[in-house]
Amino acid sequence: MTPLLYGELVGWYHLVDPPEDHEDEARCIQEAFERAVSPRPETLLDLGAGAGNNALHLKKRFTCTLADLSPDMLALSREQNPECEHVLGDLRTLRLGRQFDVVLVHDAITYMLTEEDLSAAVQTAFEHTRPGGATIIAPDCFRETFEDATEMLEADREGRSLRGLIWSWAPDPEDTTCRTEYAFLLREGGSVRAVHDRHVEGLFPRETWHRVLSRAGFQFETIQRPAGDGSFDDIFLCRRP
């Protein structure tokens, strides 16, 4: 089932995830790709691009192709990235028949719930990375470092107002999933409605990630990206030999 935020509530998406909040992370990604790939990388495939918030910044440097499973999210991305190519497709099975200098798999990888799905997604990234190119894969967290968390939201944009809570928790410490519960109060005009949107997400130990990346054929290292409020977290910079 498609989460409401990527379908019915897509018009509210930028209140939850503003495009301007991605500038620092996009700069980190660009610099990592430029260090890893020679000659100068020019083409970028964003697998699971969503609303195109990273591409909004990365397109200033790369020729971007953006793929996502949600037609509604692709439509939102087209609004802010009309010059980019957009492709509808599943991260696990997409095959475009061409390769790119660099590939980005952002938090869409979080929706891989089993090692089988995770392997399929990583293989998609590998198949679309040219020899000598690089892929960045950016999981939200790892099993070893996951902690229950609660975040409050308050946003106003273009005549709409949102107040909300995001609660991340893992019901079973032994399996490979966690949940993120979104509780929103949405106001437009004079009416307010309440919405609950549950996202079931993958949660894997580093050992699983290392096994999956190696099996696909990548040489990889962890790098740090800015995570807000002066903090950093680990993501994977993967090279295709």
Distance CA 175, CA 199 (A): 16
The CATH number of the domain covering residues in 4-142+205-239: 3.40.50.150
Q: Which of 11, 9, 1, 12 is nearest to 200 (CA)?
A: 1
Average pLDDT across the chain, whole number: 96
pLDDT score recorded for residue 174: 83
* Contact (CB, 8 A) for 155 and 16: yes
**Is a pLDDT exceeding 80 seen at residue 1?**
no
The CATH number of the domain covering residues in 149-202: 2.20.130
Hey, where are the domains in the chain? 4-142+205-239, 149-202
Residue % of the chain over a pLDDT of 70 = 100
Average pLDDT, integer, range 134-162: 96
Structure tokens, 161: 């107002």
pLDDT band at 55 (very low <50, low <70, confident <90, very high): very high
The interaxial angle of helices 206-216 and 115-127, nearest 10 deg, is 40
pLDDT band at 84 (very low <50, low <70, confident <90, very high): very high
Distance CA 133, CA 103 (A): 8
pLDDT tens for 168-220 read 999 888 889 999 999 999 999 999 999 999 999 999 999 999 999 999 999 99
* Contact (CB, 8 A) for 200 and 170: no
